[in-house]
């Protein structure tokens, strides 16, 4: 009979170790330090343990209640439940659903609009320094985060900018929004940052029993409105009667795909004087001014010339490819690469008038090497939140582009990739930051790069 293998001493020690003590609910009175990436600020307990505290501002003294973490953890998450010494940048949150344990959609309802932009600028600067070794001056950035047109409002007023809202549904059929880092639903009667075209549908006033979620889309380039329903397993779709005409889609229970129930399977958006078809689930910037703002920033930075060859990577439905095609003319050429099948279909439809535009489907890191392209004059990349990554950046650096435009929705990913571009012989010429997600910690950046051996 074979003897049982003996456990290692390390294994026995691990088994004997008592479980860590949860600190959830414990309160600490703390001085709040700098803002950090993710919509919170940094503080420390008297024992030196790091706290990531939401609902506070730098310089405040607060009582922070732990929401996640245990003794010995690298950091704890917490909410500021009492503000003992408020910042001059603090305001009463306009939204009745904002605050500890409530809706997780907004991070900075309690901060003045100017302070929100300043905090985002501090996060960008910190990420550039820490991950890319760049000062704002070295990145060609003046340190400001620009509001979108129409968003510069006085304290206490909230811009209604979100043209796509994902509602969750609670057990009673009420539409709401998720609480921070939770699957729990905060039922709401109205979302203050929802665009007028979403709010006027009246989704929060309907019974959505049997549904897991509802996505509402209000195009800014047309009067198109759409809802995408995700039923719970085995549930039947309700008859959708909203306050405005909408097309209705559903998420398939078996395939997870988006299927038409009635109406158009897309919405029509406008940018750069062109209409773009965006199919259900396809990507389009959420802020009504974002597509035009980012397109102009990219084109101003690249300064395309007639006859240029250009790449538009992670091209979505073709926003930047269309703008490039207009500017490089009949003798130029544009290649777009996009992984989403429906987005590729839309991009090909949207850009069908351009003979010298080609859209390929697949992941950039897989498709680009297969194209055989060894050089390009201009490159635009608008990667997902994780960034493009070292392999792709080094490949792009080898193509000898005169200018590269990097559109980023995450400053940490941007900074990492800028470091890889520097390894590939590129430097940042200019960087611009735009507050296209007011009341949240998110921010959009456009970095323009050029070969490092070229003078500014």
Across the beta sheet with 378-381, what order do the strands follow?
145-147, 426-435, 444-451, 403-408, 378-381, 309-313, 333-338, 357-361
CB atoms within 10 A of CB 58: 19
- Tell me the C-alpha distance between 115 and 210, whole Å: 41
Query: Token pair of 33, please?
Result: 């330090």
Contact assessment for residue 124 and residue 411, using Cβ atoms and an 8 Å cutoff:
yes
Query: Token pair of 280, please?
Result: 């259900």
- Active site annotation includes 409: yes
Report CA 311 to chain centroid distance, whole Å: 22
Which of 311, 293, 299, 306 lies closest to 364 in space, CA to CA?
311
41, 103, 315, 409: the catalytic one is 409
**Would you mind telling me the total number of residues written for the chain in this entry?**
456
Contact assessment for residue 415 and residue 130, using Cβ atoms and an 8 Å cutoff:
yes
Who contacts 280 (Cβ-Cβ below 8 Å, separation ≥6)?
226, 228, 249, 258, 260, 265, 266, 342
Contact assessment for residue 301 and residue 403, using Cβ atoms and an 8 Å cutoff:
yes
CA distances from 59 to 85, 105, 117 (A): 8, 24, 17
Contact assessment for residue 62 and residue 83, using Cβ atoms and an 8 Å cutoff:
yes
CB atoms within 10 A of CB 103: 21
Contact assessment for residue 212 and residue 173, using Cβ atoms and an 8 Å cutoff:
no
Contact assessment for residue 298 and residue 432, using Cβ atoms and an 8 Å cutoff:
no
Catalytic residues: 409
């Amino acid at each position: 009979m074979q003897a049982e293998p003996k456990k290692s001493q390390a294994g026995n020690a691990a088994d004997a170790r008592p479980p860590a003590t949860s600190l959830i609910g414990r309160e600490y009175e703390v001085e709040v330090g700098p803002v950090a990436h993710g919509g919170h600020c940094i503080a420390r307990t008297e024992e030196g343990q790091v706290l990531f505290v939401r609902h506070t501002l730098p310089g405040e003294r607060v009582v922070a209640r732990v929401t996640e973490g245990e003794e010995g953890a690298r950091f704890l998450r917490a909410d500021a439940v009492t503000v003992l010494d408020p910042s001059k940048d603090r305001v009463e949150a306009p939204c009745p659903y904002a605050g500890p344990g409530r809706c997780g959609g907004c991070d900075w309802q309690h901060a003045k609009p100017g302070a929100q932009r300043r905090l985002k600028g501090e996060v960008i600067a910190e990420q550039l320094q820490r991950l890319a070794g760049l000062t704002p001056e070295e990145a060609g950035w003046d340190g400001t985060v620009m509001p979108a047109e129409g968003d510069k409002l006085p304290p206490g007023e909230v811009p209604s900018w979100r043209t796509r809202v994902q509602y969750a549904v609670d057990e009673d059929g009420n539409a709401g929004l998720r609480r921070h880092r939770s699957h729990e639903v905060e039922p709401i009667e109205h979302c203050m940052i929802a665009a007028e075209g979403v709010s006027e549908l009246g989704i929060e006033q309907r019974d959505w029993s049997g549904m897991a979620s509802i996505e509402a889309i209000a195009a800014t380039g047309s009067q198109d409105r759409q809802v995408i329903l995700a039923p719970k397993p085995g549930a039947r779709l309700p008859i959708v009667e909203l306050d405005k005409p909408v097309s209705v889609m559903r998420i398939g229970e078996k395939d997870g795909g988006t299927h038409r129930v009635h109406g158009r399977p897309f919405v029509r958006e406008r940018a750069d004087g062109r209409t773009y078809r965006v199919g259900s689930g396809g990507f389009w910037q959420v802020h009504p001014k974002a597509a035009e703002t980012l397109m102009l920033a990219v084109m101003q930075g690249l300064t395309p010339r007639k006859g240029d060859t250009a790449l538009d990577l992670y091209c979505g439905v073709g926003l930047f490819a269309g703008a490039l095609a207009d500017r490089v003319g009949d003798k130029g050429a544009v290649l777009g690469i996009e992984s989403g099948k429906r987005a590729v279909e839309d991009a090909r439809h949207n850009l069908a008038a351009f003979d010298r535009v080609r859209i390929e489907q697949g992941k950039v890191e897989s498709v680009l090497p297969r194209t055989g392209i060894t050089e390009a004059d201009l490159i635009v990349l608008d990667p997902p939140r994780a960034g493009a990554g070292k392999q792709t950046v080094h490949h792009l650096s080898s193509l000898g582009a005169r200018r590269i435009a990097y559109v980023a929705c995450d400053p940490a990913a941007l900074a990492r990739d800028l470091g890889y571009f520097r390894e590939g012989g590129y430097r940042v010429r200019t960087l611009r930051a735009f507050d296209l997600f007011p009341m949240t910690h998110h921010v959009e950046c456009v970095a323009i790069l050029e070969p490092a051996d070229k003078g500014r």
